[in-house]
Structure 1
Amino acid sequence: MKVDLTSGFAYLSRKNKFLSIPILGLICITFYFNSFAIAEGLDRGFIYSKQLSELSTDRRVIIDTRSAWKYFIGHIPDSVNLSDWRDFTEKEGVPGILIKNKTEIAKKLSALGIDKSKEIIIYGDPLDPWRIDGRIYWMLEFYGFSNLYLLDGGVDQWSQSGGAISRGKQFDTVTTSLQAEDILFNWNISADKNWIKQRLGSANLAIIDNRIEKEYKGSTPYGSPRGGHIPGAKHIDWRDFFNQQGQLKSKPELLSILNKNGIQDGMEVVVYCTGGVRSAMAYFVFKYLGFPVRNYDGSWWDWSQDLDMPIENS
């Protein structure tokens, strides 16, 4: 049976004319705060399933950062698969460092159907231990793209919201006209070891280690030459920012985490992990909260191999 909310409201109003005022007020307040949350999400880089469903296909490109087999099993219709973040890293030297060849970058991105005229929506596996979608978000922002959004809750939330799911291999993408001159490096959101070393001990800089606690204390599960962390770095596992479903915690909860670690408004933040992947998701969180933040893409792979860089193990 179809529920007629309008008729129901009218009935209650006839029964008690005073009841209509608080009900109407409650509806308006609920609508306002829901609308405000959605608008704020868009402003801070989030997009929700309902908003995505309302975007016309010619206005957006959707990037699925999960593994190829997960994409094959089920993905958001018309999404393209970009599962290996290393496709955009230097092949020689320290792992994790972004490539800077603009011609190569433009060629790779245009083949994915990406250009600057479209909204770019990125999603991944909410329970991925490295959250590659965060890395792709930060990477594209570094390359000069500003129309970027992470899909809250990923494909799971999309499906639960009634969104359609496609299966099978990726459709043939239409190569865009993206050119090398369209790639504009945003150095304000990136840091390297020398930038950090020059600022060690600065009271206005918060260095955040987003690896697991064992790595922070010296474990090297990914083959780093030395164990430990950057001197003065505070440890916040990037997963602490998300709930068990992989969705971002509320703003009060996030700010509470930062306050416990002495991170206050006005501080500049630099985040790192092993190769700038997990920390890229932390970068997104700090950006969402309004902090000036940089991601160190070389991260511990880079810092630990340079014996001139000091370390701590406590």
Structure 2
Amino acid sequence: MKHDITSLKDFLSRKIKALAVFPALAIWLICGASATAWAADGFAPLLTIKEFRALPQNEVVLLDTRSTWRYLLGHIPGAQPTGDWQDYSVRRDGVPGFIDQDTATIARKLKAMGVDREKTLVLYGDPEDKWRTDGRFFWMLEFYGFTRTALLEGGVDSWENQGLPLERGPAPSPAASNLKAQDIQFNWDVYADQKWIADRLHSPNLALIDNREQNEYNGATPYGSSRGGHIPGAVHIDWREFYDARGRLKPLDTLESLLAKWKITKDKEVVVYCTGGVRSGMAYFVFRCLGYNVRNYDGSWWDWSRNPQLPVES
């Protein structure tokens, strides 16, 4: 995470700080020394099953971002279903996908899942899902100011592969937290919108990355966008290029080679986008891991393509 992220109020006990070293070492091995950019206290946002189980479970909120039916068929014990990512978004002028900025509404939804600012939030999704909504939720929670948020590597698949039990059916509701509307504090440093990008278009300090599929970048509109194409100057990197077939981050040298191909360097401000800021959430996670300054464009192509005043390349 960025060192200046809003409201670094979370203070951990010495015991938890010591445990946090182990996930940090794991990220170090995966992403190299740049992983120290995640957080000043050594917290790492990618946890293996072993590292997750080592954390004091009363200090953790485990969130399952998959579909309801997948959750009911089997989930990690104690996990709470988040619901659909769209439950935390709003429409503006007919455009879907914008992150909900009603702090009272967001606090009410997160509070019901036991989320508060003193706990570590661990998310998992479906590694084979081409949308991977856990990336959107990760970015969303960072935007809302939660500084101790992590993804669980491999999710349910890794859990089962280690012979660990699953729960089926609905989970008991947790005790509601004390989260209040004022606890939702927006971190604008991880957010980009139409105006922010348009004001900086063609700047040498901006790296725009389109994380959709190649045919979408070239002009296909399978999800009802107003126009086809991409934002001028954006390079195409399908978000899945960052991950292997099991949904795990590729080795550091592979990631570095991919970014070097497009001259994407750490001195640039990176903006990722897709159709509605969901797939780009997984790319956002990668750039945060690698220590880049990165923003997610929540309106993404649905928003940009709808404005006839904005330029398009195809």
Task: Write the mapping of 1:64-79 to structure 2, written as runs, cut at 5 A.
Answer: 64-79=64-79
TM-score (norm 2): 0.86
For the 8 Å contact 2:43–2:148, the answer to whether it is kept is: no
Give the 3-state SS of the residue equivalent to 1:293 in structure 2. Answer: strand
TM-score (norm 1): 0.86
Unaligned runs of 5+ in 2: 1-21, 31-41
Equivalent position of 2:311 in the other structure: 310
Is residue 80 of structure 1 aligned with residue 80 of structure 2? yes
Deviation at 1:153, TM superposition (A): 1.2
Equivalent position of 1:48 in the other structure: 48
How many angstroms apart in 2 are the aligned matches of 1:57 and 1:265? 35
How many angstroms apart in 1 are the aligned matches of 2:58 and 2:65? 21
Equivalent position of 2:58 in the other structure: 58
Equivalent position of 1:90 in the other structure: 90
How many angstroms apart in 2 are the aligned matches of 1:137 and 1:204? 25
How many angstroms apart in 2 are the aligned matches of 1:226 and 1:97? 18
Give the 3-state SS of the residue equivalent to 2:101 in structure 1. Answer: coil
Q: For 1:165-215, what per-residue CA distance to the aligned partner results, in whole angstroms no more than 9, with x for missing partners? A: 111112222111100110000000000011001111111110000000000
Task: Please report the RMSD computed on the Cα atoms of aligned residues, expressed in angstroms.
Answer: 1.5
Equivalent position of 1:263 in the other structure: 264
For the 8 Å contact 2:64–2:124, the answer to whether it is kept is: yes
Select the structure of larger CA radius of gyration: 1
Deviation at 1:51, TM superposition (A): 1.1
For the 8 Å contact 1:83–1:132, the answer to whether it is kept is: no
Is residue 239 of structure 1 aligned with residue 227 of structure 2? no
For structure 1, which segment, 247-256 or 233-242, has the greater mean C-alpha deviation from structure 2 after superposition? Answer: 247-256
Equivalent position of 1:178 in the other structure: 179
For the 8 Å contact 1:126–1:246, the answer to whether it is kept is: yes
Runs of 4+ in 1 over 2 A off after TM superposition: 34-37, 39-44, 161-164
Corresponding pairs, count: 280
**Could you tell me which amino acid in structure 2 is paired with residue 78 of structure 1?**
G
Deviation at 1:36, TM superposition (A): 6.8
Deviation at 1:39, TM superposition (A): 5.6
**Could you tell me which amino acid in structure 2 is paired with residue 74 of structure 1?**
G
For structure 1, which segment, 211-220 or 160-169, has the greater mean C-alpha deviation from structure 2 after superposition? Answer: 160-169
Is residue 110 of structure 1 aligned with residue 111 of structure 2? yes
How many angstroms apart in 2 are the aligned matches of 1:204 and 1:35? 32
Percent of aligned pairs with the same amino acid: 50
**Could you tell me which amino acid in structure 2 is paired with residue 71 of structure 1?**
Y
Greater length-normalized contact order (CA 8 Å, ≥ 6 residues apart): 2
Q: For 1:120-174, what per-residue CA distance to the aligned partner results, in whole angstroms no more than 9, with x for missing partners? A: 0000000111100000000000000011000111111122123321111122221
**Could you tell me which amino acid in structure 2 is paired with residue 38 of structure 1?**
A
How many angstroms apart in 2 are the aligned matches of 1:256 and 1:59? 38
Relative distance call for 1:35 and 1:223 in structure 2 (3 A) is closer
For the 8 Å contact 1:53–1:163, the answer to whether it is kept is: no
